[in-house]
Amino acid sequence: MSDTLPTLAVLGGTGAEGSGLAFRWANAGYPVIIGSRTTEKAVAGAAELNALLGKDIVRGMDNLSAATAAEIAILTVPYSAQQSTVADLAAALQGKILVDVTVPLVPPKVNRVQLPEGGSAVVALQQMLGDSVKVVSAFQNVSAHHLKDLHHNVECDVLVCGDDIPSREIVIKLANACGLRGIHAGPLQNSVVAEALTSVLISINQRYKIAGSGIRITGLPE
Amino acid sequence: MSDTLPTLAVLGGTGAEGSGLAFRWANAGYPVIIGSRTTEKAVAGAAELNALLGKDIVRGMDNLSAATAAEIAILTVPYSAQQSTVADLAAALQGKILVDVTVPLVPPKVNRVQLPEGGSAVVALQQMLGDSVKVVSAFQNVSAHHLKDLHHNVECDVLVCGDDIPSREIVIKLANACGLRGIHAGPLQNSVVAEALTSVLISINQRYKIAGSGIRITGLPE
């Protein structure tokens, strides 16, 4: 990867979480492509972000073109679309980093942890893609709510899990570029915590009538 | 339960975590019984705590006598002893609250999440005991390291999961009595987060060369 910032493809980037992350990365200077099932939706999503940013720097493409054009892909589709979306992109992702943001929520009881058999949805994805795609799990616990408000300090650390440590380092930089603190949280299988935690945070939001609970890891040096 | 504080049995209470929690509860005025496999070990553990407290208020008994004498039992044995310990106590626990602190670590790779089949170790325990025991999951993420130092502010929230909300409330009070913040984290199945998180915290401790990382939930009213 060169000294210039890598191009990011946010797949499913018209949704709340993907769009919020894309906004923060574009604002930090990353070349960002919004990916969607149709080019039209992606172009509209990109135009919305460009209007917010006051610059013309975000592009929109269908998911396959976006994954092909980017150096790093970020998957922000709903759980039900996770595997099918990636199956179509496997060839385009070879040799790249895929950041999986998927939370395996099972509606309607999204405040209850209901992990898939075997535990982690992202571990299943890594097995499907093979070792030449560096899958990294991150951003599952960041509430989309305030990402598009740059004045809002999002109070949430990002647990970054992956079997390839240099790839984790790159994703930690992506978290930091969003104004979040990325933390090495171990191998990909540790992603179970981040995947399950979102349901706990939803449960806390409901119980305490708050909007966007998050987590901080304590005990780290500042 | 009367207005006086309930009697607590800390089963496996001679270990680091159980002993630390017992110390904090006794210091807060709860009648505490240390339970262990043998009466001798339990009595020795209680004597150690009484010496630290400068009072003679902690008792020691074998696990069965402790569970029988207490209103609330707290299970702090290693994962490998979880089911066998509780199997012997099932009759004594009927109608009571059992607080399960068990972390399903699988040595030697304790920094990797390796949950049992089905996900949660505590859900399996509840199924074994039946509904008349109110099983609540809590305290898995509290580092034992500083519990016996009352001047040390333990920087960790306690995720409290259980299917019976009044029992959760009681355990939240127990967390608060330790100087920790207890938080309603949803039904028992949400305990997967707390059970898996300990491995992530161990991984963080190793990676960042720190002693006792923990978590805080953000976004809650003070």
Q: Which of A210, A213, A218 sits opposite B155 (nearest CB)?
A: A218
CA dihedral A126, A130, A133, A136 (to 10 degrees): 20
Residue in chain A closest to B199 (alpha carbons) equals A190
Q: By the 8 A CB rule, do B100 and B124 touch? A: no
Mean pLDDT for the stretch of residues B137-150: 92
Among B185, B215, B183, B184, residue whose Cα is nearest residue B198: B215
Element (DSSP H or E) covering residue A58: strand A58-62
Q: Which of A185, A187, A215 sits opposite B218 (nearest CB)?
A: A215
Query: Which chain A residues are Cβ-neighbours of B192 within 8 angstroms?
Result: 113, 115, 192, 196
pLDDT in tens, A98-116: 999 999 999 999 999 999 9
Give pLDDT, residue A3: 65
Do residue A216 and residue B219 have CB atoms under 8 angstroms apart?
no
Q: How confident is the model at residue B146 (pLDDT cuts 50, 70, 90)?
A: confident
d(CA B46, CA A145): 50
CA distance A219 to chain B (A): 5
Mean pLDDT for the stretch of residues B82-90: 95
Mean pLDDT for the stretch of residues A63-73: 98
Residue A139: φ, ψ to 5°: 75, 5
Mean pLDDT for the stretch of residues A22-50: 97
Question: Does the CB of A114 have a partner CB in chain B at under 8 Å?
Answer: yes
Q: How confident is the model at residue A153 (pLDDT cuts 50, 70, 90)?
A: confident
Do residue A183 and residue B204 have CB atoms under 8 angstroms apart?
yes
Question: Does the CB of B112 have a partner CB in chain A at under 8 Å?
Answer: yes
Question: Does the CB of A214 have a partner CB in chain B at under 8 Å?
Answer: yes
Among B155, B193, B199, which would you mutate to test the A interface (most chain A Cβ atoms within 10 Å of its Cβ)?
A: B193
Mean pLDDT for the stretch of residues B59-72: 98
Give pLDDT, residue B52: 96
Higher pLDDT, B145 or B60: B60
Task: Share the mean pLDDT of chain B.
Answer: 95
Residue B178 has pLDDT above 50, yes or no: yes
End-to-end alpha-carbon separation of chain A, Å? 29
Give pLDDT, residue B152: 87
Give pLDDT, residue A38: 96
Give the relative orientation of helices A16-27 and A39-53 as an angle to the nearest 10 degrees: 50
Residue B192 has pLDDT above 70, yes or no: yes
Q: How confident is the model at residue B3 (pLDDT cuts 50, 70, 90)?
A: low
Q: How confident is the model at residue A54 (pLDDT cuts 50, 70, 90)?
A: very high
Q: Which of A186, A199, A216 sits opposite B200 (nearest CB)?
A: A186
Question: Does the CB of B119 have a partner CB in chain A at under 8 Å?
Answer: yes
Mean pLDDT for the stretch of residues A27-45: 97
Higher pLDDT, A160 or A146: A160
Cβ-proximal residues to A209 (8 Å cutoff; 6+ apart), any chain = none
Query: Which chain B residues are Cβ-neighbours of A156 within 8 angstroms?
Result: 218
Among A183, A85, A64, A19, residue whose Cα is nearest residue B203: A183
Residue in chain A closest to B189 (alpha carbons) equals A113
CA distance B81 to chain A (A): 23
Query: Which chain A residues are Cβ-neighbours of B115 within 8 angstroms?
Result: 119, 192
Give pLDDT, residue B1: 45
Q: Tokens for A110?
A: 């999204």
Q: By the 8 A CB rule, do B177 and B32 touch? A: no
pLDDT in tens, B95-130: 999 999 999 999 999 999 999 988 899 999 999 999
Q: Which of A115, A119, A204 sits opposite B185 (nearest CB)?
A: A204
Residue A1 has pLDDT above 60, yes or no: no
Q: By the 8 A CB rule, do B34 and B66 touch? A: yes
**pTM for the whole thing?**
0.95
Mean pLDDT for the stretch of residues B169-197: 97
Q: How confident is the model at residue B2 (pLDDT cuts 50, 70, 90)?
A: very low
Q: How many CB pairs under 8 A join A and B?
A: 129
pLDDT in tens, A76-97: 999 999 999 999 999 999 999 9
Do residue B215 and residue A211 have CB atoms under 8 angstroms apart?
no
Task: Share the mean pLDDT of chain A.
Answer: 95
Give pLDDT, residue B210: 94
Do residue A213 and residue B218 have CB atoms under 8 angstroms apart?
yes
Q: How confident is the model at residue B153 (pLDDT cuts 50, 70, 90)?
A: confident
Q: Tokens for B206?
A: 């190793």
Give pLDDT, residue A152: 87
Among B190, B199, B210, which would you mutate to test the A interface (most chain A Cβ atoms within 10 Å of its Cβ)?
A: B190
Mean pLDDT for the stretch of residues A28-43: 97
Do residue A193 and residue B193 have CB atoms under 8 angstroms apart?
yes
Do residue A119 and residue B113 have CB atoms under 8 angstroms apart?
yes
Task: Tell which A residues from 132 to 191 touch B, by Cβ distance under 8 Å.
Answer: 155-156, 159, 183-187, 189-190
Residue in chain A closest to B163 (alpha carbons) equals A112
Q: By the 8 A CB rule, do B113 and B154 touch? A: no
Residue B188 has pLDDT above 50, yes or no: yes
CA distance A139 to chain B (A): 15
d(CA A146, CA A151): 9
Q: Which of B112, B190, B217 sits opposite A190 (nearest CB)?
A: B112
pLDDT in tens, B199-209: 999 999 999 99
Residue B87 has pLDDT above 60, yes or no: yes
d(CA B157, CA A218): 10
